[in-house]
Amino acid sequence: MAEVPGTNHWFTHFTSRIEEAELEEWWALNFNYNLRNELDAQRRAKGWKIYVTSTFAKFICRRCSNSWSSYRASMVFHYRLRRKSGIVLLRLFQQQCRECKNPIMHKPQVNSDQMYEVLDRLILKILKNCYRVPNLVEEGRAVNHRKTKPHESNLCEACGLGMCNQS
Ligand SMILES: [Zn+2]
Ligand SMILES: [Zn+2]
């Protein structure tokens, strides 16, 4: 699979936020492109939790170099804490290019600020659901919708799977 610029930043940004959180256990992030936006009973029983969200991202078509922005770059995290370590799995949903209509999907490129915002929300969930630390800040996130084209469900992988973040 072609290297998508920016994907590695998820690892470095996650690691720096986890270090700052000073948790007892070490947490690791991995990508998993089979995740669904719900947990079945089996995963639930194993202690998995879920966080579905979306953020602002850019997409660049590798075929025709068209680029676009979206506020509905959907993603899903599955996470769980075991005895000595925590694991976070992340699936980034992709989008298709409207210009060339090539069926290949493109991964979102999320800038550092947006990525930290997403990871901070995730870590609040981890603190609450795995460490029983009540969230001190209100969860409402600052949504300042810059102008982007309306979400095109037919070009969105998450929509196609019925997994797009609606909030
Ligand atoms: Zn294209
Ligand atoms: Zn969608």
CA of 110 to the centre of ligand 2 (A): 16
Residue range(s) defining the domain that contains residue 82: 26-135+144-160
Angle at 149 between CA 148 and CA 151, to 5 degrees: 105
Is 152 a member of any domain?
yes
What is the per-residue pLDDT across 22-35, written as a single tens digit (0 to 9) for each?
Answer: 999 999 999 999 99
What is each CA distance from 106 to 38, 60, 117, in whole angstroms?
A: 23, 7, 22
Q: What is the pLDDT of residues 36-77, one digit of tens each?
A: 999 999 999 999 999 999 999 999 999 999 999 999 999 999
Query: Is 167 domain-assigned?
Result: no
Q: DSSP assignment of 117-128, as one string? A: HHHHHHHHHHHH
Number of domains in the chain: 1
The bound ligand whose nearest atom lies closest to the alpha carbon of 103 is 1
Question: From ligand 2's centre to the CA of 53, what distance in Å?
Answer: 11
* Six-digit token string for 89: 């799995």
Is residue 125 in a domain?
yes
Residue 14 in domain: no
Instruction: Give the distance (Å) from ligand 1 centre to CA of residue 164.
Output: 22
Q: Which amino acid is at 7?
A: T
Is pTM beyond 0.75? Reply is yes
Cα of 47 vs centre of ligand 1, distance in Å, is: 41
Cross-strand pairs, 67: 60
Number of Cβ within 10 Å of residue 119's Cβ equals: 21
Ligand nearest, relative to CA of residue 156? 2
CB-based neighbours (< 5 A) of ligand 1, an ion:
61, 63-64, 66, 97, 99-100
Torsion of CA 92, 137, 140, 80, to 10 degrees: 30
Within a domain: residue 155?
A: yes
